[in-house]
Chains A and B, each alone.
Chain A
């Protein structure tokens, strides 16, 4: 290497440039592509178990017949992958890595090598999870919540190797995000461009930072809980074994103390992405910047006091259930406030319905359905009836799908010109958008109805339950399944668009959307080091339509 030391661009090999890079943009791409790959696997798993629901016992094309044990592995792996290996890497790690240095105006993360290590540990965790599919006994099948004693005793889960590998993979994933998170927070705190004061930081950066702090604050007890579960699985201790003096509910507390804030860990970055997209495509200032910021902080704080609403049927003290009901209903207030503020941002804007804007608007509409159905589940009385039904499942997907899929598509389509220097195809983008949004609704709206009718979420084959095998419920299940298949097929449109735009799309200029934030001041795609000259910031990120100016935008780095 030494003879090439002078020109370190271009001369470095593929391995050094793309797989061993410390550049935040390359690491973001690594996270993005790994997340997209895992999303395809997660989607395929969903296809297999949905087919089993619609056509019980029939052979699933591309998979074969689904045995009861395989069914458990499919739903467990689907949930685990989509939360930990899709939502987290794409929303936090990919966008965080890509946007933080660019949007705050510096050349990289503060700890580039730690950043690289973070991705490598993450990749290792993903590989361990994938390897668990082929170990004796197969992948873990005890649900993504991994409740003991099901997860801790081999004679119950029948997949001792899979259960331990699952836990190891999740633990390593946490380690990866803790390393990445420390990098994120420190970078935003210390490496902002001159003039980038707290209230001039773009909202998506604030959201990613708050989400990261929230993650760091909530994941610790689960790391401890995972150590205890490892001991139960591998050393024969009885931390969670009630027959030997342990307490299985302890795991539920430790898991949900993290598990519920985790919802907001992924929600907030998605809200941030939507804020950036909306202000650009409505050509309007973000309404009430500080209100958004404070409600996000409020959401983060309250999210530490809602976890036990997952345990209303676990035999917790009813007085405790009341407190957690109240806290859960309270947390809908700041989230609703954010939605109102976003609607106020749209009001009076000159709205351009480009693909990223469609995704952003869809996020609001769909997430609203998820939020409103959550009220029935947060109230302990109605939750006793709805718990573990498809109503919960449909509610969850109406929150998580907007966050992890719609929010991610809004971000990818918005920043694609910056990331790859080319524009995406609008027509294919819109076909993909409508194909995904319509089928998403027809997948999960029917499941609210089957859930209200008592459809339990862990049932392998409804044929065994005459009350639930009724024709009208089975028709709804088939609608849901066919919708999933169509939705997955429409993702091919996205992949095609992504690939073709990458190769043949029209070249993007530095600032194709006429946006204000600093990443658009860098070339598309930004070179190593990002900016030709590191920028100085003169104003907030959302100065659209400022009076007395010819242009309707006013970039943060342009002196007045």
Chain B
């Protein structure tokens, strides 16, 4: 399909794709915002949730924070490579970022398996319900981001649609930022 002239115009001076991705993030912010505010209000009303939170695995969460933040570095380097029209390098770095996402999800699976086996399931109480729902929604974003990243990498390797490398990077930083809120709220505050 040929792109319409509308897509190539830029009355604001911001490329259309980048403008759109910022609006995607804006709508994501209110989704996670609603969820986190609901959690925080509940948490403030239930002092005992701190005791439940004591059973979360802070070490696993910290390692995952490190993995996710590090994966953003390769996303930034991919953007730089795309700016220099080096699609092959950008693709390699994007795949590295997706690997980071995979490591994050694997650690999370082990963590959840361990917790569920210990009896801390989603129906255990309000805290665990929010724990699985919030982290699960974030995990879906990680998974979706990784899949899209691999698709973009396949294009970038052929030096096509290189502007998309920056866009997926923006999304990836957002996924990071959400985790930076989730980690202290679910793991550290006990």
Binding site for B on A (CB under 8 A): 22, 101, 106-113, 178, 181-183, 185-187, 189-192, 196, 216-225, 227-228, 231, 235-239, 244-247, 250, 254, 257, 529, 534
- In the complex, what residues of A have CB within 8 A of residue B12's CB? 189-190
Q: Are A224 and B34 in contact (CB under 8 A)?
A: yes
In the complex, B62 has a CB within 8 A of chain A: no
Nearest first, the 8 A-B pairs at minimum CB distance are A221-B34, A220-B30, A224-B35, A108-B4, A224-B34, A220-B31, A191-B6, A106-B6
Q: Are B1 and A113 in contact (CB under 8 A)?
A: yes
Q: Determine the distance from Cα of A534 to Cα of B4 in the docked complex, in whole angstroms.
A: 12
Contact partner of A235 (CB less than 8 A), chosen from B27, B38, B123, B126, is B123
Q: Are A107 and B6 in contact (CB under 8 A)?
A: yes
**Chain A nearest Cβ from B4, distance in angstroms:** 4
**Chain A nearest Cβ from B150, distance in angstroms:** 20
Q: Are B9 and A190 in contact (CB under 8 A)?
A: yes
User: Would A216 and B27 be within 8 Å (CB), given that A237-B122, A238-B123, A238-B129 are in contact?
Assistant: yes
Looking across the interface, which residue of chain B has its beta carbon closest to that of A228? B133
In the complex, B70 has a CB within 8 A of chain A: no
Q: Are A224 and B4 in contact (CB under 8 A)?
A: no
Among the stretches B13-21, B72-80, B106-114, B159-167, the one at the interface with A is B13-21
30 A-B pairs, CB-CB below 8 angstroms? A108-B4, A108-B7, A110-B4, A110-B6, A113-B1, A178-B27, A182-B20, A182-B23, A186-B16, A189-B12, A190-B14, A190-B16, A190-B19, A191-B16, A216-B27, A220-B27, A220-B28, A220-B34, A221-B30, A221-B34, A224-B31, A224-B32, A227-B133, A231-B129, A236-B123, A238-B125, A239-B129, A239-B130, A245-B46, A245-B125
Q: Are A101 and B6 in contact (CB under 8 A)?
A: yes
Q: Are B30 and A216 in contact (CB under 8 A)?
A: yes
18 further interface pairs, Cβ-Cβ under 8 Å (given A110-B6, A178-B27, A245-B125):
A108-B7, A109-B4, A181-B27, A182-B20, A190-B9, A190-B19, A192-B9, A196-B11, A216-B26, A221-B30, A221-B38, A222-B34, A224-B34, A228-B35, A228-B133, A237-B133, A247-B42, A247-B45
**Chain B nearest Cβ from A281, distance in angstroms:** 30
Q: Are B126 and A227 in contact (CB under 8 A)?
A: no
Looking across the interface, which residue of chain A has its beta carbon closest to that of B126? A245
Q: Are A534 and B133 in contact (CB under 8 A)?
A: no
Q: Are A239 and B26 in contact (CB under 8 A)?
A: no
Interface of B is mostly: helix
**Chain A nearest Cβ from B131, distance in angstroms:** 11
Q: Are A238 and B30 in contact (CB under 8 A)?
A: no
Q: Determine the distance from Cα of A107 to Cα of B2 in the docked complex, in whole angstroms.
A: 12
Contact partner of B23 (CB less than 8 A), chosen from A216, A222, A254, is A216
**Chain A nearest Cβ from B56, distance in angstroms:** 17
**Chain B nearest Cβ from A477, distance in angstroms:** 40
- In the complex, what residues of B have CB within 8 A of residue A219's CB? 27, 30
Contact residues, B58-80 vs A (CB, 8 A): none
Q: Determine the distance from Cα of A192 to Cα of B122 in the docked complex, in whole angstroms.
A: 49
**Chain B nearest Cβ from A83, distance in angstroms:** 20
- In the complex, what residues of B have CB within 8 A of residue A192's CB? 9, 11
- In the complex, what residues of B have CB within 8 A of residue A223's CB? 31, 34
In the complex, B24 has a CB within 8 A of chain A: yes
**Chain B nearest Cβ from A260, distance in angstroms:** 15
- In the complex, what residues of A have CB within 8 A of residue B33's CB? 220-221
Q: Determine the distance from Cα of A534 to Cα of B10 in the docked complex, in whole angstroms.
A: 15
User: Would A186 and B38 be within 8 Å (CB), given that A106-B4, A237-B123 are in contact?
Assistant: no
Q: Determine the distance from Cα of A191 to Cα of B17 in the docked complex, in whole angstroms.
A: 12
Q: Determine the distance from Cα of A319 to Cα of B29 in the docked complex, in whole angstroms.
A: 29
Looking across the interface, which residue of chain B has its beta carbon closest to that of A215? B27
Q: Determine the distance from Cα of A180 to Cα of B24 in the docked complex, in whole angstroms.
A: 11
Q: Determine the distance from Cα of A299 to Cα of B137 in the docked complex, in whole angstroms.
A: 32
Contact partner of B20 (CB less than 8 A), chosen from A111, A220, A225, A244, is A111
Q: Are A235 and B122 in contact (CB under 8 A)?
A: yes
Looking across the interface, which residue of chain B has its beta carbon closest to that of A112? B4
User: Would A186 and B137 be within 8 Å (CB), given that A110-B4, A222-B34 are in contact?
Assistant: no
**Chain A nearest Cβ from B177, distance in angstroms:** 15
- In the complex, what residues of B have CB within 8 A of residue A247's CB? 42, 45
- In the complex, what residues of A have CB within 8 A of residue B5's CB? 106-108, 191, 534
**Chain A nearest Cβ from B6, distance in angstroms:** 4
In the complex, B118 has a CB within 8 A of chain A: no
Contact partner of A106 (CB less than 8 A), chosen from B9, B28, B34, is B9
Name the residue in A217, A221, A237 with the highest tally of chain B Cβ atoms < 10 Å from its Cβ: A237
Q: Determine the distance from Cα of A209 to Cα of B33 in the docked complex, in whole angstroms.
A: 22
Looking across the interface, which residue of chain A has its beta carbon closest to that of B13? A190
Looking across the interface, which residue of chain B has its beta carbon closest to that of A220? B30
Q: Are A110 and B7 in contact (CB under 8 A)?
A: yes
**Chain B nearest Cβ from A103, distance in angstroms:** 13
**Chain B nearest Cβ from A215, distance in angstroms:** 9
Q: Are A22 and B1 in contact (CB under 8 A)?
A: yes
Q: Are A231 and B11 in contact (CB under 8 A)?
A: no
**Chain B nearest Cβ from A277, distance in angstroms:** 26
Q: Determine the distance from Cα of A43 to Cα of B190 in the docked complex, in whole angstroms.
A: 54
Looking across the interface, which residue of chain A has its beta carbon closest to that of B28? A220
Q: Are B9 and A246 in contact (CB under 8 A)?
A: no
Q: Are A112 and B1 in contact (CB under 8 A)?
A: yes
Looking across the interface, which residue of chain A has its beta carbon closest to that of B48? A245
- In the complex, what residues of B have CB within 8 A of residue A111's CB? 7, 20
Contact residues, B119-146 vs A (CB, 8 A): 122-123, 125-126, 129-130, 133, 137
**Chain B nearest Cβ from A239, distance in angstroms:** 6
Q: Are A250 and B7 in contact (CB under 8 A)?
A: no
**Chain A nearest Cβ from B119, distance in angstroms:** 15
Looking across the interface, which residue of chain B has its beta carbon closest to that of A114? B20
Contact partner of B35 (CB less than 8 A), chosen from A183, A227, A235, is A227
Q: Determine the distance from Cα of A189 to Cα of B11 in the docked complex, in whole angstroms.
A: 7
- In the complex, what residues of B have CB within 8 A of residue A101's CB? 6
- In the complex, what residues of B have CB within 8 A of residue A231's CB? 122, 129, 133
Q: Are A109 and B133 in contact (CB under 8 A)?
A: no
**Chain A nearest Cβ from B20, distance in angstroms:** 5
